[in-house]
Amino acid sequence: MTLPAYVKASAAVHAAAGAAALLVPAAWPWALGTVAANHLVLTGAGLWPRSTWLGRNWSRLPEAATARGEIAITIDDGPDPEVTPAVLDLLDAHAVRATFFAIASRAALHPQLCREIVRRGHSVQNHSDRHSHAFSLLGPRGLAREIGAAQARLTDLAGTPPRYFRAPAGLRNPFLAPVLDRLGLELVSWTRRGYDTVRREPADVLARLGKGLAAGDILLMHDGNAARTAAGQPVLLSVLPTLLERAAAAGLRAVTLPEALPAANHAPVGAMATASP
């Protein structure tokens, strides 16, 4: 297991600060300040979902997939017995495939729906077992339990073990990368998101997802916890048809992450500078 470079550097900073405080007691304020600054940077990296400072992180598809004109539609927080079947029908109508980052405890409540996602040619990947708001505060054992439990459930439900993981809300800490490495998972974030769990206007969500849409993009939407329009329609269902039409008109093809990404444990080729907020 190889620790991320910044995590290694942070360990070295802690060791050097401790040595300085022991050898030169008067320097302890500087040593403490250095450690505090390091922790602030680590926290900031964990709060930036597309950061690669804490380990490998796919925020875009690799060059080969981009050259093929591929994009990845990823749908989080389900499955939802009301929304997910309608999403599947829309995807079928446009002949595209998507990746569902499922919350394993929810998937266990709707096993047939999880299997239907796979039967229709889509991919089910790991979005944690319970989607806890305290996920990024867990230590190595807590992360291993949470992600490992989801991996076991989803493997049983979908028939194949997930290869990719998305952190709840995209938030994480320095302990996550080694846990994912042990479980054979790679972290996936996104290129652009529509904030469709909080924004109720389809035009707003569509503008965020569609502005600058290009080959290699990983798009984030939600079938679980979906915001509703004024008419009570899940925002995703209002946005998805137009988004898929725009993608097709631009010559883009939506594929699953396992189709677009290389086998697990290959370093991602990211393009963070080109990603939209």
What is the rounded distance in angstroms from the CA atom of residue 40 to the CA atom of residue 139? 18
Region of 257 on the Ramachandran plot (φ > 0 left; ψ -120 to 50 alpha; else beta): alpha
pLDDT tens-digit series, residues 146-172: 999 999 999 999 999 999 999 999 889
What is the rounded distance in angstroms from the CA atom of residue 235 to the CA atom of residue 221? 9
- Which tokens in the block code for residue 189? 């974030």
| DSSP single-letter state for residue 266 | P
**What backbone torsions phi and psi does residue 254 show, to the nearest 5 degrees?**
-85, 125
With a cut of 60, say whether residue 121 has pLDDT above it: yes
| pTM of the predicted protein model | 0.81
What is the rounded distance in angstroms from the CA atom of residue 133 to the CA atom of residue 145? 15
pLDDT tens-digit series, residues 222-263: 999 999 999 999 999 999 999 999 999 999 999 999 999 987
What is the rounded distance in angstroms from the CA atom of residue 78 to the CA atom of residue 203? 23
pLDDT tens-digit series, residues 130-149: 999 899 999 999 999 999 99
8 Å CB contact between 131 and 153: no
pLDDT tens-digit series, residues 52-74: 777 889 999 999 999 999 999 99
Q: What percent of the chain has pLDDT over 90?
A: 71
pLDDT for position 262:
81
With a cut of 60, say whether residue 274 has pLDDT above it: no
Of the candidates 39, 154, 165, 156, the residue with the CA atom closest to the CA atom of residue 104: 154
Question: Which superfamily is assigned to 63-274 in CATH?
Answer: Glycoside hydrolase/deacetylase (3.20.20.370)
- Residues 144, 145, 147, 152: is their CA dihedral positive or negative? positive
8 Å CB contact between 54 and 173: yes
- Which tokens in the block code for residue 240? 């998805």
Look at residue 102 and give its three-state secondary structure: strand
